[in-house]
Amino acid sequence: MQNGNSTLKTLRALLEREPCIDIHHWAVRLEMTDDGAVILEGDVGDVATKKRALEIAGATPEVRGVIDRLHVAPAEPRGDGAILDVLAARLAGVREFQNCTLRVLRKGQTVTLQEVRDADASGDLLASVQDGVVTLDGWVLSLSHKRLAGAVAWWVPGCRDVIDALEVQPPEQDTDDEVSDALSLVLEMDPMIPHPDQIRVRTRDHVVTLEGLVGSQAEKARAEQDAWCLFAVDRVVNQLAVAR
């Protein structure tokens, strides 16, 4: 596939020019299918790197589709059962999910942890983990609930990827304000962000801009990662200043 090889060379060059990706260190593999789609496979350092690589691939000329097989290399490798236990506990502890039914899929069996039969229930979540990949199924009341659940999953030590398949019922139109509101909520919940009120969030066409003041480079990086963790965020512009 001469044209395919040319496209892969172009894509590899673009990825090599992106400082945050470092495809040689992470051994990202590229492959093109017969119908012109590109497969990205391998481990990367964080969710920002994963999403940036997918964005670059999708914008590359001649690429007709992107198949995502990238995972995040966990800082703390853990078994699926341990990941599921922590995820279940954290979801149960989130105020926004206290009116939701929570279930987990454990060894092929669905286990109900919390059941809400009220007509005003806010959702019914089913969480499962396979090879470090968290899948969220079921439904929630809003896009903010969906994004919050995905962020909580990404925070779990050992998580390599999150498939957020939660449906929003009734369907809700996505907006920039909704993305900003969801991220503000996530930042407030993140224990690694001690002063979320000092961070301003702006969103335009699903591109998030962070402004304000944080106490350290680690906090600045964490706030950016939280933004990347949200469903349907296409890019993050981190303009946070670090207090001296």
Q: pLDDT at position 20, please?
A: 77
Q: Which CATH number is correct for 2-72, 3.40.1130, 1.20.58, 3.30.70, 3.30.1340?
A: 3.30.1340
Q: pLDDT at position 99, please?
A: 96
Q: Are residues 174 and 201 in contact, defined by beta-carbon separation less than 8 angstroms?
A: no
Q: Which residue has the tokens 């920039």?
A: 176
Q: pLDDT at position 4, please?
A: 61
Q: How far is CA 172 from CA 5, 95, 145, in A?
A: 41, 21, 12
Q: pLDDT at position 2, please?
A: 44
Q: pLDDT at position 1, please?
A: 42
Is the CA virtual torsion 190, 191, 196, 197 positive or negative? Answer: positive
| 3-class SS shares of the chain: helix, strand, coil, % to 5 | 35, 30, 30
Which residue blocks in the chain are alpha helix, DSSP H? 2-16, 23-26, 47-58, 80-92, 143-155, 176-189, 217-229
Global pTM?
0.91
Q: Are residues 190 and 226 in contact, defined by beta-carbon separation less than 8 angstroms?
A: yes
Residue spans per domain, the chain: 2-72, 80-168, 176-242
CA 150 to CA 159: how far, in whole Å?
A: 11
What radius of gyration, in Å, describes the C-alpha atoms of the chain? Answer: 19
- Amino acid at position 187, single letter: L
CA 56 to CA 13: how far, in whole Å?
A: 11
> Nearest-CA neighbor of 100 among 126, 78, 123?
123
Q: pLDDT at position 75, please?
A: 86
CATH number of 176-242: 3.30.1340
The reply to whether 176-242 shares the fold of 2-72 is yes
pLDDT along the chain (244 residues), means of 10: 73 88 83 93 93 92 93 93 97 96 96 93 97 98 96 97 97 96 96 95 96 96 96 94 90
